[in-house]
């Protein structure tokens, strides 16, 4: 983090001026991701049709693209939106869900990577596979430790000049230069579908607030999830009550709480 910039100050800045974020995400994630964005204080719009995705990206503060439930028509919308965001100088975030699973996904991600994402957010299996390694991922679920993905993340950051945010029991964020580990969260977060996809949208919200520093923006989003996840898990009886408690915990975060409970360690 730069001097004076903390997850807390970025959260306050985001809420003072809620960014419009175009989230091209999957059918599973749309509802939870929109609710996560509203709880955090951002303004989400799930707009993916190829007829309008590019036009909408130009008026958004940031764009996020997630290939979770990909189809040819959606892909056209994604490409058009990413091109338009880049042309308008707006950051965009890529979530390469299960990109290793089929050749359709592999080709889509290769094409999207050429369009300069500011941030790539994925789980350990996705990041390892993106760097050409052998991952043990099963469908959308990671089965690799984050520690094993750290080298892949550094390599990808330099190759694509992007911030790489790897999530799991601990998170790892690098721009190829700076790197941190973020502690917190809860294992219950893997029991509620699409929380990773929702996090990708939140990275977009912070990137809209701090477009000149996608590293700090990513750290702030991941820290908000780590602190809210840890707080929600304290009283949760299982995935169901964790889910609504997590939304409440995100909404209840403020600058003081997030900065006091953040555990961000330089790597
Ligand atoms: N075992 C764990 N302990 C603590 N936090 C966790 C754990 N596993 C995941 N998280 C947190 O859950 C959030 C989502 O990360 P995860 O790596 O599960 O994403 P994902 O695999 O892309 O999820 P999905 O595909 O379901 O959207 C992150 O904030 C991450 O830190
Ligand atoms: C379960 C699932 N299937 C495609 S996307 C998605 C949401 C978690 O990545
Ligand atoms: Mg995912």
Domain CATH number, residue 58: 3.40.1190.20
- Ligand 2 atom at minimal distance to the Cα of residue 140: 9
Mean pLDDT of the chain: 97
One DSSP character per residue, 33-99 reads HHHHHHHHT-EEE----TTTHHHHHHHSSEEEEE-TT--HHHHHHHHHHHHHHHHTT--EEEE-TTT
Whether 1 is covered by a domain: the verdict is no
Residue 108: what pLDDT?
Answer: 98
Whether 56 is covered by a domain: the verdict is yes
pLDDT tens for 109-129 read: 999 999 999 999 999 999 999
- Choose which residue among 141, 185, 261, 264 to substitute to test ligand 1 binding: the one with the highest number of ligand atoms within 8 A of its C-beta: 185
Split into its structural domains, the chain has a count of: 1
- Choose which residue among 33, 97, 198 to substitute to test ligand 2 binding: the one with the highest number of ligand atoms within 8 A of its C-beta: 97
Q: Whose CA is nearest to atom 28 of ligand 1?
A: 167
Residue with token string 């707006």: 90
Res. 235 pLDDT band, cuts 50 70 90: very high
pLDDT tens for 26-76 read: 999 999 999 999 999 999 999 999 999 999 999 999 999 999 999 999 999
Q: Classify strands 62-66 and 92-95 as parallel, antiparallel or unpaired.
A: parallel
Biggest alpha carbon distance in the chain? 47
Whether 2 is covered by a domain: the verdict is no
Cα 54 to averaged position of ligand 3 atoms, centre (Å): 24
- Provide the 10 A C-beta neighbour count for residue 79: 19
SS3 150: helix
| The token pair that represents 201 in the structure block | 């949208």
Whether 116 is covered by a domain: the verdict is yes
Whether 191 is covered by a domain: the verdict is yes
- CA 152, 98, 46, 187 dihedral sign is negative
Whether 90 is covered by a domain: the verdict is yes
Residue 4: what pLDDT?
Answer: 83
Residue 187: what pLDDT?
Answer: 98
Residue 2 has pLDDT above 60, yes or no: no
Whether 89 is covered by a domain: the verdict is yes
Residue 3 has pLDDT above 90, yes or no: no
Known binder of ligand: residue 194? yes
Known binder of ligand: residue 121? yes
Does the interface ipTM go beyond 0.90? yes
Higher pLDDT, residue 3 or 4: 4
pLDDT tens for 123-160 read: 999 999 999 999 999 999 999 999 999 999 999 999 99
8-state DSSP, 130:
H
Cα 28 to averaged position of ligand 2 atoms, centre (Å): 6
Question: How much is the average pLDDT of 78-92?
Answer: 98
Whether 150 is covered by a domain: the verdict is yes
Percentage of the chain lying above the pLDDT 90 cut: 99
Residue 60: give the domain boundaries.
Answer: 7-266
């Amino acid at each position: 983090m730069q001097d004076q910039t903390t997850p807390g100050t970025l959260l306050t800045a985001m809420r003072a001026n809620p960014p419009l974020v175009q989230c091209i995400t999957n059918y599973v994630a749309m509802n939870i991701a929109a609710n996560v964005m509203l709880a955090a204080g951002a303004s989400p719009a799930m707009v993916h049709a190829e007829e309008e995705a590019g036009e909408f990206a130009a008026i958004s503060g940031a764009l996020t693209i997630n290939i979770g439930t990909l189809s040819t028509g959606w892909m056209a919308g994604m490409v058009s939106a990413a091109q338009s965001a880049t042309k308008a100088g707006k950051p965009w975030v890529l979530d390469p869900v299960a990109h290793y699973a089929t050749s359709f996904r592999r080709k889509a991600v290769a094409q999207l990577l050429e369009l300069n994402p500011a941030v790539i957010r994925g789980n350990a299996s996705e990041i390892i596979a993106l760097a050409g390694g052998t991952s043990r991922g099963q469908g959308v679920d990671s089965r690799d430790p984050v520690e094993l993905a750290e080298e892949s993340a550094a390599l990808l950051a330099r190759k694509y000049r992007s911030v790489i945010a790897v999530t799991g029991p601990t998170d790892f964020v690098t721009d190829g230069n700076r790197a941190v580990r973020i502690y917190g969260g809860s294992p219950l977060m893997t029991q509620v579908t699409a929380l990773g996809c929702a996090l990708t949208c939140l990275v977009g919200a912070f990137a809209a607030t701090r477009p000149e520093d996608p590293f700090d923006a990513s750290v702030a989003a991941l820290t908000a999830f780590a602190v809210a996840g840890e707080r929600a898990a304290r009283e949760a009886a299982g995935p169901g009550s964790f889910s609504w408690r997590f939304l409440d915990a995100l909404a209840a975060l403020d600058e003081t709480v997030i900065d006091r409970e953040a555990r961000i360690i330089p790597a």
